[in-house]
Homo-oligomer: A and B are copies of this chain.
């Protein structure tokens, strides 16, 4: 199956239609430059002779605007906590992380600092320096120190999105710029991506008026980009996607289906009611449960350990790993 062969599948024409009709990314040049600098710097560094691995962590939910001059949009629930926590553990494991996150969602090293009460953490001391209100001192200082270190050593690049249009365009840019890393690249797609959208052309230009009774809407399916990522954008990279369901009866079956259908190496299956305490790591042939050991323990610690090990196996395999091998 080759997207350049002339006979396009409905899936492929959906992808093309999506990108052609999407409003162009405003800061494309700036993002492109940041990516180039980051990847070049990482490619030149190495840890005891081995090339440094790079993971693209996506995090938070994408929005779907309902109006071109957008007042209303559909959003996907996601605090971004998993992506932020995972980023910290990937950096700890020696990975360089491109953190593609929903603007305003949870940030790495900020997880213990509640967003809403940020000013409650600080006070002005008598000598007019800033002091951290106890008992938060250790946590806040640790967060600042770890964050600074990751950024200054070039192990963390943050890129933000809001809409589904921005998200998929940025993902494409990151993926194509990571292609040169071959199997040392990883995608950890934890963002909650909209399944339905309103194509830009069909969208109401102005705010939809509320005076005329109930509102009827028809939403189009977002094309499944996982397949394009695996086939075209970065075919040698190690790919992990996430599946969230509220109904436990269909979860593992859907995770398994996603793995086969989109050629993912791993699918992490979450159930809405328990996703903070437990996930299932689904690979072809096995399912591993990863659980949190208590309130103060991140399940991401064990999850990232497991994925790093799987990534090492992937790297050791003969090169030229492609979709067919995974399918």
Contact = CB atoms under 8 A, between A and B. Distances in A.
The quantity of this chain's copies bound in the complex is 2
Given A141-B128, A144-B123, A215-B218, A107 B103 contact: no
Contact of A132 (B72, B130, B272): B130
B77 A72 contact: yes
Q: Which applies to chain A's interface (DSSP): helix, strand, loop or mixed?
A: mixed
A69 B116 contact: no
A245 B130 CA distance: 42
Contacts of A70: 77
A33 interface: no
Contact of A213 (B67, B119, B192, B221): B221
A17 interface: no
A130 B116 contact: no
B118 A118 contact: yes
Contact of A131 (B104, B130, B220): B130
A73 B71 contact: no
A8 B145 CA distance: 62
A245 to B, nearest CB: 6
Contacts of A210: 195-196, 221
Contacts of A71: 76-77, 192, 244, 246, 272
A75 B170 CA distance: 23
A258 to B, nearest CB: 11
Interface in A296-314: none
Interface residues of A, number: 63
Contacts of A272: 69, 71, 207
A86 interface: no
A282 interface: no
A147 interface: yes
B246 A69 contact: yes
Nearest to A109: B119
Contact of A214 (B69, B218, B273): B218
Interface in A58-87: 63, 66-67, 69-77
Given A129-B131, A207-B245, 12 more contacts: A66-B74, A72-B74, A73-B75, A119-B143, A123-B148, A124-B148, A130-B130, A130-B144, A195-B210, A206-B247, A207-B247, A207-B272
Rank and list the top 7 A-B pairs by shortest CB-CB distance, nearest first. A195-B210, A69-B246, A215-B219, A119-B147, A206-B246, A206-B247, A75-B75
